[in-house]
Amino acid sequence: MTLILKNVCKSFGGLRAVSDVTFSVPERSIFGLIGPNGAGKTTVFNLVTGVYQFDAGSITLGGLCLGNLKPAEIAKAGIARTFQNIRLFSQLTVLENLLVACELQKKAHLFSALLRTRAHFDDEMAMTKRAQELLDVFSLRELADAPSTSLSYGNQRRLEIARAMMLSPKVLLLDEPAAGMNYGEAEGLKTQVRWLRDTFDLTVVLVEHNMQVVMGVCEEIHVLDHGETIAQGSAEIIRNHPAVITAYLGDDDVDAVGGDAA
Amino acid sequence: MAARIWTRTIVIALMVASASLALDLGFSRILTDGSLRQLLMLTACNVLVAVSLNVINGMAGQFSIGHAGFIGIGAYTAAIVASQLHVKLGAQTPTLANSFIVVPVALLAAALVAGAFGFLLGLPSLRLKGDYLAIVTLGFAEIFRLLIATADVGAKDTLSHAWSNVRGPGTFFHALSVSLTSLGGPQGYAGPVDQGVPLYAGPFWILTIVTLMVALAWRIKFSGWGRALRALREDEIASAAVGVDPTRYKVTSFVLAAVGAGVAGGLMAMMRDGTPSVQPDAFNFQTSFDAITMVILGGSGSVTGAVLGGVFVTLSIKAIEYGQGTSVIQEFRSHAEWLDLNALRMILYSVLLIALMIVRPEGLLGERELFQKRRAS
């Protein structure tokens, strides 16, 4: 399923956070969305996942229009995400964090939970099994019963991805997964992202500042600045694109100190 | 596993039912003091109040301070339904056999009406949080109470006459006000012809229903549904991103809490050895506040904690009332007339709550439970 954004616009009061952004993410690709701070990358994620409503344009996933869907419905449609500032359910254990993401796949609902029917137990067993498999994948199995806040930063990031994967998504949106990672960890992340795509037949969209990760793993890159598209194409094209270099480094010596490229 | 749990559930249910039935039959012989019998049943009702409030305040993390409104709605609904049924059954002294007709119908009506109001109050909770939601819930409870307490009982019209004369908005509101008047105003509701609300709910009904509701609350907590509620409490955006629809879960938790409170109110209204009338002032802010105290003392989010809180608060209220009657205190009060022990109760709770917030901010049990099994994984 292809994720397509067409002429998407979003303003907050007088600020045009995203203006006229158009791109399409091919199925099973790893797609990078980059740009300097405040370029509107996370806003695009929030528009795709329904946290914000866009003002104009359209967003579709495999032909399904996401415009009027609520966040929970978009999750059901197959789009899972992680957050820039990790959002785990802090009072819940690691395993429970994953189990929350099963609610919409359940056949048994409140009524059968109250009656404790067979369906309720079958559901719980199946979900727990699936969650434990994913914990194995992200090597968090030993921490299953630990409160999620007790995890290290890197483990919290991995748990957030595992939680998103519980939805069996078709598209996975990762918001700055490499933030706070050192060189070695970032290299590991690159392998993990490719592995996720290959194993789960995913489409991955990556918002990232870490150029080592972006250039290394993304097959196609889309660059935003001040909410507008300034370039798109393969890593090679983006690396040498004059508009991108200007956006990151400024167009004369005076502005150059503001650049924040990694 | 399901089959084993079912067998166990049925065995426990039968045990609770037969034990409370035995208690029902021999209650006045076992406990000769009527006020003590009343206290025991009231404690059970308050446990249900605390457990139901815990669904919305503890599990869902929505701060509601208008629980008395739902209790009151349940109490009035059950009182009206029970009184009408009682008349239809011949208006004799309430018997256990007749209670099998009256109590289920009255409680079902109480649950439905309270649940409907819970749904209405749940809707603003989608947009409001924290203090703002608290004010809406408080407003709801107070509007309910004052609508009844300030009804003009001097009006001459009869209920059926007023409703058959509805010819537009003016007459409709007249009929509505006559209906409110028929609830007895500040004097309270005592049946359609003031012969008193029939007191059908003995220990059998109160204990079985409260036990059933506590068990349901427990199952809510330890199901995927309860887990989703807790997740929603922690982070609404992240919950929505994993497919937990905040609207559905929040509104449903309001409805569930309201249903529990409505049933508790219905039981209180029909409680044997209780007062045969329903007073609007029994559902004032003090009642809501007591319910919150029960939940917070026991530990927000803990079902068994709410049970403990309900027991403790009810007993302490009664202990102070009892203390007021003793000769020592009476003697003391003759020297110090300003002494009001009901006010003292508020001071006692305040001190207790402040101390608790310092020593154990999460309440007696926190979110844990007594008798909690280790999860089999």
- pLDDT higher than threshold 80 for residue B132: yes
Q: Distance between CA atoms of A213 and A206, rounded to whole angstroms?
A: 10
Contact (CB<8Å) A72/B2: no
- pLDDT higher than threshold 90 for residue B155: no
Confidence of residue B376 (pLDDT cuts 50, 70, 90): very low
Residue boundaries of the structural domains of chain B: 2-25+33-359
**B228 contact residues in A (CB cutoff 8 A):** 100, 103
Any idea how long chain A is?
Answer: 262
Q: Distance between CA atoms of A122 and B358, rounded to whole angstroms?
A: 43
**A107 contact residues in B (CB cutoff 8 A):** none
CATH architecture for segment(s) B2-25+33-359: Orthogonal Bundle (1.10)
Q: Which of A153, A168, A183 is the last residue of a domain?
A: A168
Amino acid making up residue A228: E
Q: Which of A168, A198, A225 is the last residue of a domain?
A: A168
How confident is the model at residue A68, as a pLDDT?
87
CB B113 within 8 A of CB B73: yes
pLDDT, tens digit, for every residue of B247-268?
889 999 999 999 999 999 999 9
Domain residue limits at A143: 86-168
Q: How far is CA A61 from the centre of its chain?
A: 15
Q: In what order do the strands lie in the sheet with A228-233?
A: A79-81, A171-175, A203-207, A30-34, A220-225, A228-233
Nearest residue in chain A measured CA to CA from B3: A118
Nearest residue in chain A measured CA to CA from B235: A89
Claim to verify: residue A183 and residue A199 sit in the same structural domain = yes
Claim to verify: residue A57 and residue A13 sit in the same structural domain = yes
How close B296 comes to chain A (CA, Å)?
17
How confident is the model at residue B373, as a pLDDT?
63
How confident is the model at residue A261, as a pLDDT?
46
Residue among B8, B242, B245 with most chain A CBs within 10 A, to mutate: B242
Cβ neighbours around A243 below 10 Å, total: 14
DSSP A24: E
Q: Give the pLDDT mean for B204-220.
A: 94
Contact (CB<8Å) B219/A90: no
- Cα distances (Å, whole numbers) of residue B226 to B9, B217, B222, B265, B319: 20, 9, 6, 24, 35
Q: Are strands A30-34 and A79-81 parallel, antiparallel or unpaired?
A: unpaired
**Is residue B241 within a helix (H) or strand (E), and if so which, with residue range?**
helix B236-241
Nearest residue in chain A measured CA to CA from B232: A89
Contact (CB<8Å) A75/B247: no
Report the share of chain B in percent with pLDDT over 70: 96
How confident is the model at residue A122, as a pLDDT?
85
pLDDT, tens digit, for every residue of A203-260?
999 999 888 899 999 999 999 999 999 999 998 899 888 888 888 877 665 444 444 4
CB A234 within 8 A of CB A220: yes
How confident is the model at residue A256, as a pLDDT?
46
In the predicted model, what is the mean pLDDT of chain B?
88
Claim to verify: residue A132 and residue A143 sit in the same structural domain = yes
Contact (CB<8Å) A72/B224: no
Q: Among partner residues B230, B246, B377, which is closest to A89 by beta-carbon distance? A: B230
- pLDDT higher than threshold 90 for residue B375: no
Contact (CB<8Å) B242/A118: no
Contact (CB<8Å) A70/B219: no
Q: Among partner residues B244, B247, B252, which is closest to A103 by beta-carbon distance? A: B244
How confident is the model at residue A11, as a pLDDT?
93
- pLDDT higher than threshold 80 for residue B374: no
- pLDDT higher than threshold 90 for residue B130: no
Claim to verify: residue A104 and residue A192 sit in the same structural domain = no
pLDDT tens over chain A, length 262 residues: 899 999 999 999 888 899 999 999 999 999 999 998 888 899 999 999 999 999 999 999 988 999 889 999 999 999 999 999 999 999 899 999 999 998 877 766 788 888 888 888 888 888 999 999 999 988 899 999 999 999 988 889 989 999 999 999 999 999 999 888 888 888 888 999 999 999 999 999 999 988 889 999 999 999 999 999 999 999 889 988 888 888 887 766 544 444 444 4
Claim to verify: residue A124 and residue A16 sit in the same structural domain = no
- pLDDT higher than threshold 80 for residue B97: yes
Nearest residue in chain A measured CA to CA from B249: A110
Q: Among partner residues A109, A116, A163, which is closest to B219 by beta-carbon distance? A: A116
Q: Name the CA radius of gyration of chain A, rounded.
A: 19
Residue with tokens 């559901």: A123
Claim to verify: residue A152 and residue A68 sit in the same structural domain = no
Confidence of residue B377 (pLDDT cuts 50, 70, 90): very low
Claim to verify: residue A53 and residue A179 sit in the same structural domain = yes
Residue among A42, A102, A110 with most chain B CBs within 10 A, to mutate: A110
Claim to verify: residue A120 and residue A62 sit in the same structural domain = no
Q: For chain A, how many structural domains are there in total?
A: 2
Q: Which of A168, A200, A225 is the last residue of a domain?
A: A168
Contact (CB<8Å) A90/B234: yes
How confident is the model at residue A259, as a pLDDT?
46
Contact (CB<8Å) A121/B2: yes
- pLDDT higher than threshold 50 for residue B198: yes
How close A107 comes to chain B (CA, Å)?
12
CB B296 within 8 A of CB B353: yes
CB B69 within 8 A of CB B140: yes
Nearest residue in chain A measured CA to CA from B10: A115
pLDDT, tens digit, for every residue of B50-72?
999 999 999 998 889 999 999 99
Claim to verify: residue A39 and residue A121 sit in the same structural domain = no
How confident is the model at residue B2, as a pLDDT?
65
Q: How many CA atoms lie within 13 A of A8 on its CB side?
A: 31
**Is residue B267 within a helix (H) or strand (E), and if so which, with residue range?**
helix B246-269
Q: For residue A116, what is the domain's CATH number?
A: 3.40.50.300
pLDDT, tens digit, for every residue of B21-37?
988 888 888 888 888 89
| ipTM exceeds 0.95, yes or no | no
**A127 contact residues in B (CB cutoff 8 A):** 224
The pTM of the whole model exceeds 0.90: no
